[in-house]
Structure 1
Amino acid sequence: MADQYDVIVLGSGPGGYVAAIRCAQLGLKTAIVERELLGGICLNWGCIPTKALLRSAEIKHYMDHAKDYGLKVAGEIEADLEAVVKRSRGVAKQLNQGVTHLMKKNKIAVHMGEGTLTGPTSLTVKGEKSEEKLTAKHIIVATGARARDLPFAKADGKRVWTYRHAMTPPEMPKKLLVIGSGAIGIEFASFYNDMGADVTVVEMLDRIVPVEDKDVSTFLEKSLTKQGMTIMTGAGVEEIKVSGSGVKAKIKAKDGKVSETEFSHCIVAIGIVPNTENIGAEKLVEMERGFIQIDDYGRTKSKGLWAIGDCTPGPWLAHKASHEGVTTAEAIAQELGNKDVHPHPLDRANIPGCTYCHPQIASVGLTEEKAKEAGYEVKAGTFPFIGNGKAIALGEAEGFTKTVFDAKTGELLGAHMVGAEVTEMIQGFVVGKTLETTEAELMGTIFPHPTISESMHESVLAAYGRALHI
């Protein structure tokens, strides 16, 4: 006889395990199915371990520039790649154990194995030793996504890497090619550049980090070039030949000229592919390019079957998946008769994005260009970190904060930041947008001194011609 639950979650990443916890909090008998590691890609092979790597690179960066702070370091600074990776894997292991604890704490049944849907509310779990049949009143698909391969250069883990290989490199690359300049590509480019590799980034669009505001892209390219990277925009990799000693890449530059360059390693960061094949979903859901189509609460076309996270339309971010997990859990509880929950649909305009390169990038809402395309009359203000006392004291005076407003209503449409610690500061603007703030509230807010966050206040003032320190 099949085990019966109120909710089964297929996949235990930041969407899946959060959905399971919220379901359990709402009194629902909940199970989670995971084929590999609790916590999914984010905790084990994505967001968290990459930040541990980047932290090591950041410390090395500061040690390399110790004299700028009046400090002397005896001897040459060396990066022990094996130790750096070991620390990163230790961080991932600690968080994996944390999720295991949360499952026990919330009395969530864990079924390890390959899950396959047999209907909207039933599935089988094929483990190492046996196969289980599970049924539930509702199932949430949270199977995530994986790195997209180049059709002419499949990742082999030796010379051609995905982000997963780049986190546990067999050796330190001497000359690294990074294909793609989204968050993943730029983060690894930044990491390996700080660790001492000769890094080249190739982006087929006309600017790096193309989803960001143009001013941010321009600033970042100048900063990374100053740090020693080679940045090629409007360019494409047409061919890669892999050998035992490296890769030869034919790169077509912006001017149309094709050159062949040798690299020791290559990281492919050209997007993701949803993990929706071979899970039995084909006849149960509508898909577009493999992504499961859902309503604002996570419902698919099959009653009782829901989907969240990276296997659904973007943006493909861990915090978006977690938010969807809570929303879907509450919508399910509501359908099962809970009158005390009131789920709200996801507002995609209020999802922040963060890139942890050096310098950091953070943003929320519309860019200035997108706001104008949408028909808004815009007021935009930018405040450079060179005008901020704390940034200067930290030796981090490169960067800026930019805000975009509706000139007619004062509504905050977007905020864009590049520089030190901006990934921690962006949440102030996210809260402001969620509360539907205008320039008046932000101008009237007291920001603590001395902090880099004062640049947030000044950017708002600048949008209305009232900046104090520039």
Structure 2
Amino acid sequence: MAENYDVIVLGSGPGGYVAAIRAAQLGLKTAIVERELLGGICLNWGCIPTKALLRSAEIFHYMQQAKDYGLVAKGIEADLEAVVKRSRGVAKQLNQGVTHLMKKNKIAVHMGTGTFKNATTLEVKGEKGSETISAKHIIVATGARARDLPFAPADGKRVWTYRHAMTPGEMPGKLLVIGSGAIGVEFASFYNDMGADVTMVEMLDRIVPVEDADVSAFLHKQLTKQGMTIKTGAALEELKVSDKGVSAKIKGKDGKVESAEYSHVIVAIGIQPNTENIGLEKLVEMDRGFIQIDPYGRTKSKGLWAIGDCVPGPWLAHKASHEGVTAAEAIAKELGNKDVHPHPLDRNNIPGCTYCHPQIASVGMTEAKAKEAGYTVKVGNFPFIGNGKAIALGEPEGFVKTVFDAKTGELLGAHMIGAEVTEMIQGYTVGKTLETTEAELMNTIFPHPTISEAMHESVLGAYGRALHI
């Protein structure tokens, strides 16, 4: 006989396990189905372990620059195997943490692959065989995987996805990175800092193309300064893989095709949602495999919901977690809980963070997008070279840019590049959520000395009132 629940969550990534916890907190009998590891891709193979790798590369970079800080460090070497081992240890610790949270919240865990028999019933095939479970509501949180090049699929030896790049069998000598989104630029930055000769190819006319144009230009300059080769407006025409390396033909923006040899290639050209072959085709509407939902996560089938990387983007862990909470609360409300008040997701208030060196962080509209939307804007741009803490840290390269509606003073967007900006962006995100204007930000006291003072100065600068430039 099928086990019955109020809520089943299919997938245990940062969207799925958070949705399950919130559902359980609201008193709903909850189960989670996971085919691989609790915590999903983000915790085990994505966000967290990559940040552990990047932290090691950052420290290695600083050690090599010891002289700039009045220090002497000799015989500095990178042990790639040890760096990877540390990263995997971090992932394992957090995986165990999610296991504890499932037990703490009395969430039933079914390990196996779930397939839909109908909108409220799953068949789960795992080590224990096959079982059928059902619920009043099911949340699909199956995530996504790296998209392959059609003419050169990843083999884990010479052609890597992010997953292979996190546990490399050897250090690349000459590395080609295809794509300059967050994943591509983070791994390019990591391997560049670790000593590889890195070339990054981007089809569009600038790297990190979703960011503000000023951020893209600044990052391009900084990565080039660090020794990276960057080709924009370029397309990969051919990739031939051998036991010894990879031969690539790259067509530049001038139309010329150049050939070059590389030891390894990282493919970072986007993601493919994990929505096929699980019985969803007749239950939901899809666009290129992504499940279409309303602002609360509902699909077209009653009782069936979807969140995270298997629905439209941005494809970010924190967006998935927020969607998970929203869907769980909307379900609880449908089941009669009058004390929950779910709010639809506001995509304009989702911050983005990229952990390359230097870091990038942003929220809201770029200057160009704001103008396209018809706004008359006021823009402030404050460089880190005018910030005392940044200079003291030896990190004077960077800036904070703010975009305001000139008519109302509404904060439309904020864009940063430089040291620790991924920790600072939340200040602007809170401000946007509270629907702040320039007046509140100007009247906020920022602590000194901090890099965050550059945020204040950027706001002041948009209105001709910057103090330190």
Give the aligned partner of residue 418 of structure 1.
417
Counterparts of 2:65 and 2:52 in 1: how far apart (Å)?
Answer: 20
Runs of at least 4 residues of structure 1 off by over 4 A? none
Alpha-carbon offset, residue 314 of structure 1: 0.3
Deviation at residue 254 of structure 1 after TM alignment: 1.0
- Which deviates further from its counterpart, 126-135 or 257-266? 126-135
Cα deviation for residue 135 of structure 1 reads 0.6
User: Which ranges in structure 1 are unaligned for 5 or more consecutive residues?
Assistant: none
State the AA in 2 paired with 1:56. S
For residue 202 of structure 1, give the secondary structure of its aligned residue in structure 2.
strand
Shift of 1:26: 0.1
Task: Name the structure 1 match of 2:153.
Answer: 154
Aligned residues: 469
**2-side partners of 1:432 and 1:311: how far apart?**
29
Do residues 465 (structure 1) and 464 (structure 2) align?
yes
Give the secondary structure class of the aligned counterpart of 1:442: helix
Aligned pairs (5 A) from 1:125-274? 125-274=124-273
Q: Which residue of 2 aligns with 1:4?
A: 4
Per-residue CA deviation, residues 183-226 of structure 1 (Å, 9 max, x unaligned), is 00000000000000000000000000000000000000000000
**CA offset at residue 74 of structure 1?**
2.4
Specify the code of the residue in structure 1 equivalent to 2:334. Answer: E
Counterpart position of 2:289: 290
Separation of aligned partners in 2, 1:124 and 1:45:
26
Paired position in structure 1 for 2:307: 308
Question: Shift of the alpha carbon at 1:129?
Answer: 3.3
Give the C-alpha shift of residue 17 in structure 1: 0.1
- TM-score, reference length from structure 2: 1.00
Distance 2:31 2:231 in 1: 47
In structure 1, the residue matched to 2:62 is 62
Residue 323 of structure 1, CA deviation: 0.1
Three-state SS of the structure 2 residue aligned to 1:97 is helix
Tell me how far 1:279 sits from its aligned partner.
1.1
Amino-acid identity (%)? 86
* SS of structure 2 residue aligned to 1:4: strand
Three-state SS of the structure 1 residue aligned to 2:206 is coil
Superposition pairs of residues 106-121 of structure 1, within 5 angstroms? 106-121=105-120
Q: How does 1:245-394 map to 2 (within 5 A)?
A: 245-394=244-393
Secondary structure of the 1:90 match is helix
Residue number in structure 2 paired with 1:42: 42
Q: CA deviation at 1:150?
A: 0.5
Structure 2 unaligned residues grouped into runs of 5+: none
- Where does residue 454 of structure 1 map in the other structure? 453
- Residue 82 of structure 2 is matched in structure 1 by 83
What is the CA–CA distance in structure 2 between the aligned matches of 1:196 and 1:356, rounded to whole Å? Answer: 18
How far 1:99 sits from its partner (Å)? 0.1
The TM-score, its normalising length taken from structure 1, stands at 1.00
Q: What is the CA–CA distance in structure 2 between the aligned matches of 1:424 and 1:388, rounded to whole Å? A: 17
* Whole-Å separation in 2 of the counterparts to 1:146 and 1:384: 37
CA distance in 2, matches of 1:321, 1:11: 12
Offset at residue 128 of structure 1 (A):
1.9
Deviation at 1:273, TM superposition (A): 0.2
Amino acid of the structure 1 residue aligned with 2:277: N
**CA offset digits 1:409-455 (Å, max 9, x no partner):** 00000000000000000000000000000000000000000000000
